[in-house]
Amino acid sequence: MGPKLEGDQMFRKLPLDNPERIDCAGESFLRVPAESLARLTEEAFADVSHLLRTSHLEQLGQIFDDPDASANDRFVALELIKNAVIAAEREFPSCQDTGTAVVTGKKGQNLLVAGSAKAAIEEGIRATWDSRNLRYSQMAPLTMYEERNTGTNLPAQIDIEAGEGETLDLLFMAKGGGSANKTFLFQETRRLLEPDRLLRFLDEKIRTLGTTACPPYHLAIVIGGLSAEQCLKTVKLASARALDDLPDCGDMKGRAFRDQGLEAQVLKLTRSMGLGAQFGGKYFCHDVRVIRLPRHGGSLPVGMGVSCSADRQIKARIDRDGLWLEALERDPARFLPTLRTAQKPVRIDLDQQIDAVCDALSGLAVSTPVLLSGTMIVARDMVHAELARMVAAGQPLPDYMTRHPVYYAGPAKTPSGHASGSFGPTTAARMDPYVPDLQARGASRVMIAKGNRSAAVVQSCKAHRGFYLGSVGGAAATLGKEVIRKVEPIDFAEFGMEAVFLIEVQGFPAFLIIDDKGGDFFARPQ
Ligand code: SF4
Which atom of ligand 1 has the smallest separation from the CA of 308?
4
Give me the pLDDT at residue 124, please.
98
Write out the DSSP string of 196-257: HHHHHHHHHHHHTT-STT-SSEEEEEEEEESSHHHHHHHHHHHHTTTTTTS-SS--TT---E
Across the range 1-23, mean pLDDT stands at: 86
Q: What is the average pLDDT score of the chain?
A: 95
Q: What distance in angstroms lies between residue 443's CA and the mean position of ligand 1's atoms?
A: 27
Q: What distance in angstroms lies between residue 175's CA and the mean position of ligand 1's atoms?
A: 8
In this structure, which CATH number among 3.30.420.480, 3.20.130.10, 3.40.50.720, 3.40.50.1220 belongs to the domain 346-523?
3.20.130.10
Report pLDDT digits (tens) over 277-329. Answer: 988 899 999 999 999 999 999 999 999 999 999 999 999 999 999 999 999 99
Pair 182, 213: CB distance under 8 Å: yes
212 lines ligand 1 (CB under 6 A): no
Alpha helices for 312-421 (secondary structure H): 354-362, 381-392, 400-403
E strands, 383-443, in order? 406-407
Pair 94, 52: CB distance under 8 Å: yes
Report pLDDT digits (tens) over 166-205. Answer: 999 999 999 999 999 999 999 999 999 999 999 999 999 9
Report pLDDT digits (tens) over 408-466. Answer: 999 999 999 999 999 999 999 999 999 999 999 999 999 999 998 999 999 999 999 99
Which residue minimizes the CA distance to atom 3 of ligand 1? 213
Which atom of ligand 1 has the smallest separation from the CA of 310?
1
For residue 85, which of 65, 102, 61 has the smallest C-alpha distance?
Answer: 61
Give me the pLDDT at residue 467, please.
98
Which atom of ligand 1 has the smallest separation from the CA of 309?
1
Q: What distance in angstroms lies between residue 84's CA and the mean position of ligand 1's atoms?
A: 13
What are the residue ranges spanned by the domains of the chain? 1-176+310-342, 177-309, 346-523
For residue 213, which of 139, 286, 105, 290 has the smallest C-alpha distance?
Answer: 286
pTM above 0.85, yes or no: yes
473 lines ligand 1 (CB under 6 A): yes
Q: How far apart are CA 118 and CA 121, in angstroms?
A: 5
Q: Which are the contacts of 244, defined by CB distance < 8 A and separation ≥ 6?
A: 258, 289
For residue 290, which of 226, 198, 191 has the smallest C-alpha distance?
Answer: 198
Inter-CA distances, 104 with 168, 241, 315, Å = 11, 14, 10
Q: What distance in angstroms lies between residue 298's CA and the mean position of ligand 1's atoms?
A: 36
Q: What distance in angstroms lies between residue 450's CA and the mean position of ligand 1's atoms?
A: 10
